[in-house]
Amino acid sequence: MKQFEYPFDADYLLSKKKRLKRELLAASDQFLEIKIAILGGSTTSDIRQILELFLLHHGIKPAFFESEYNRFYEDAVFGNPELDELKPDLVFIHTTYRNVRNFPALSDSSEAVQEKLETEFGRFRSVWEALEQKYHCTVIQNNFDFPFYRLLGSKDASDIHGRVNFLTRLNLKFAEYAESHSAFLVHDLNYLSAQYGLDRWHDESAWYLYKYALAVQAIPCLANSVANIIKALYGKNKKAFALDLDNTLWGGIVGDDGVEKLSLGQETAESEAFTAFQAYLKELQSLGILLNIDSKNEMCNALAGLEHPEGVLKQDDFIIIKANWAPKSQNLAEIAAALNIGIDSIVFVDDNPAEREIIRQTFPSVSAPELGTEPEKYIRILDRNGFFECVGISTEDLNKQQLYQENARRADLLNSFTNYDEYLRSLQMTARIEGFVPMYMQRIAQLTNKSNQFNLTTRRYTQAEIEAAAADPDCITLYGKLTDKFGDNGVVSVVIGHKRGDELDIVLWIMSCRVLKRDMEFAMMDALAAKCRAASVKTVYGYYYPTAKNGMVRDFYQLHGFTKISEDENGNTAWRLDIDSYQKQNRFINVED
């Protein structure tokens, strides 16, 4: 729904929130359900309602606990029965500069200011530690916005007595804490308020009348920002671009104007804007975002344009280039299929409003942001939408371009074989399969939230939950890392099982689409059976819960020798395997000892 993509109409969202909620709930029956506690230092009722809309837009259906006004500390540290009953998956702490108790006085010594700083930080740290101890869940904490006035003027930022200086130092301490605590994330309220504009962000009448710490019209901006973090945590980020060329990556029409007349480089304001946009996309590519082209063009003209001497992006920066006269919707579907990702994982970027509308009508789940006609605003529009919100950077993210290029070489090799077994042997595959280790915790959590097609139970895990499973003696955990003669695929499969005496319930089994049909699932099953025998597990139970995307694994357990023991009207199935009857199945992968 365009209403939830930047630039959005805040007044419309606020006034139509009930109707929009009904429409979002009616639009899908496939929601990821999570439990969220909002602990506020100010009034949060409208924040909760608008946050719910943005989460529903991302396919997440939240159940909320909302603290009473300014009870964030008490509910976290001393407890709350309703909060305990919810058992939150995630806690959002909505505090602002108004919740700082002891700002420096002008008469304070540097030692006194430092003591106040440590006291304020310690108060918040006690909240985070209490939540971690009780709920073992992810915490999202606002850092601090700046006040609407500065007692010392510009010196407020540099003098230790200034509130701007004090809040900046507190924000840095929050950031340092986040660096060493994987389940703690900072929501950058400081940047958000500056982006919105402090004069508009602060509404004194709303504070004095209703204890809103920000203007009501700013709430959708806040809710969108928090929702972006949450959907990133639960694997709802976009993964790839499908980019137009003419008047999108460069100014002009390459087939009509020729390469030499394209607007790129530093000669004009327009050419600088297009060049900056290409540089922005190149930076996103370095984070693992896949760049692809979907353009109505002759291929020779498209490739010539990509060789423009002032262009930042070249042909090798793109995984798939579709430059032809086919409908862009057809190209888009083919790009998604070739990348083996859901079409809802793609952001379609095109300056032509008609093309954007065709994509929206054909594929409602595809984001086609309103670029407008000014290239200098392209970056702002994509950035504000938070399509690729980052909650952690894994080695696989940094190597994503290389991984997909290696997959293309594997596909080329496959085409040269008539016997699939011979192809698998030719890959010279080696796997490392073992219990979760700290080195890969972030990637394991990321994979659990990104895998949709090969995901038997649709469970999602935060990094904190992954770490808790690794430390639980009643859990059997496995990750699988696969390499072959073309390169390292990284961590590609994850299994979690819960022991019940001599029985094991498989609660999570996922695998990256990059290694489908490579026998990695058989190698993982062999390792799981060995782990079960070592743990005196005699019977293993597996579960399949169907979704719109995971039909490919409907018969997974049957292929591994399990017996179906139940199936309900929704297609949910349960399976059983006697470990003593299991025989090794992996034939093509050398598993390291």
Both structure tokens of 525: 């099953």
Q: Do 12 and 89 sit in the same domain of this protein? A: yes
pLDDT in tens, the chain (593 residues): 778 999 889 999 999 999 999 999 998 888 989 999 999 999 999 999 999 999 999 999 999 999 999 999 999 999 999 999 999 999 999 999 999 999 999 999 999 999 999 999 999 999 999 999 999 899 999 999 999 999 999 999 999 999 999 999 999 999 999 999 988 999 999 999 999 999 999 999 999 999 999 999 999 999 999 999 999 998 899 999 999 999 999 999 999 999 999 999 999 999 999 999 999 999 999 999 999 999 999 999 999 999 999 999 999 999 999 999 999 999 999 999 888 888 999 999 999 999 999 999 999 999 999 998 899 999 999 999 999 999 887 777 777 778 777 777 787 788 888 899 999 999 999 999 999 999 888 889 888 887 777 889 888 888 888 988 999 999 999 999 999 998 888 899 999 999 999 999 999 999 987 788 889 999 999 999 999 999 999 999 999 998 877 888 899 999 999 999 999 998 999 999 999 999 999 999 999 97
Q: Do 229 and 244 sit in the same domain of this protein? A: no
Q: Do 244 and 228 sit in the same domain of this protein? A: no
Of residues 530, 518, 309, 491, the one with CA closest to residue 427: 518
Q: Do 94 and 190 sit in the same domain of this protein? A: yes
The domain that holds 489 is classified in CATH as 3.40.630.30
How do 487-500 and 503-511 pair as beta strands? antiparallel
Q: Name the residue range of residue 369's domain.
A: 240-385
**Does residue 341 belong to any structural domain of this protein?**
yes
Q: Do 435 and 349 sit in the same domain of this protein? A: no
Q: Do 262 and 224 sit in the same domain of this protein? A: no
The domain that holds 184 is classified in CATH as 3.40.50.1110
Q: Do 445 and 371 sit in the same domain of this protein? A: no
pLDDT value of position 203: 97
Q: Do 191 and 280 sit in the same domain of this protein? A: no
The domain that holds 274 is classified in CATH as 3.40.50.1000
Place of tokens 């190698």: 523
**Does residue 134 belong to any structural domain of this protein?**
yes
pLDDT value of position 273: 97
Q: Which of 336, 361, 385 is the last residue of a domain?
A: 385
Give the phi and the psi of residue 432 in degrees, each rounded to 5.
-115, 120
435: DSSP letter = S
**Does residue 373 belong to any structural domain of this protein?**
yes
CB 240 within 8 A of CB 290: yes
Q: Do 222 and 249 sit in the same domain of this protein? A: no
Q: Do 250 and 226 sit in the same domain of this protein? A: no
pLDDT value of position 252: 96
Alpha helix segments (H runs only) across 349-487: 353-362, 378-385, 395-398, 400-415, 420-426, 441-450, 463-471
pLDDT value of position 504: 96
Place of tokens 């639980």: 472
Please state the pTM of the whole predicted model. 0.83
Q: Which of 179, 207, 233 is the last residue of a domain?
A: 233
**Does residue 409 belong to any structural domain of this protein?**
no
**Does residue 407 belong to any structural domain of this protein?**
no
CB 39 within 8 A of CB 77: no
CB 529 within 8 A of CB 582: yes
What is the separation of C-alpha 175 from the centre of its chain, rounded to a whole number of angstroms?
20
* Structural domains of the chain, count: 3
Which residues lie closer than 8 Å to 17 by C-beta, 6 or more apart? 49, 50, 53
**Does residue 130 belong to any structural domain of this protein?**
yes
How do 487-500 and 475-484 pair as beta strands? antiparallel
- How many CA atoms lie less than 13 Å away from 322 in the CB half-sphere? 24
Neighbours of 439 (CB within 10 A): 11
**Does residue 403 belong to any structural domain of this protein?**
no
Q: Rounded CA gap, 124 and 100, in Å?
A: 10
Q: Rounded CA gap, 257 and 262, in Å?
A: 7
CB 45 within 8 A of CB 35: no
Q: Which of 233, 259, 283 is the last residue of a domain?
A: 233
Q: Do 444 and 474 sit in the same domain of this protein? A: yes
Q: Rounded CA gap, 452 and 474, in Å?
A: 26
Q: Do 175 and 323 sit in the same domain of this protein? A: no
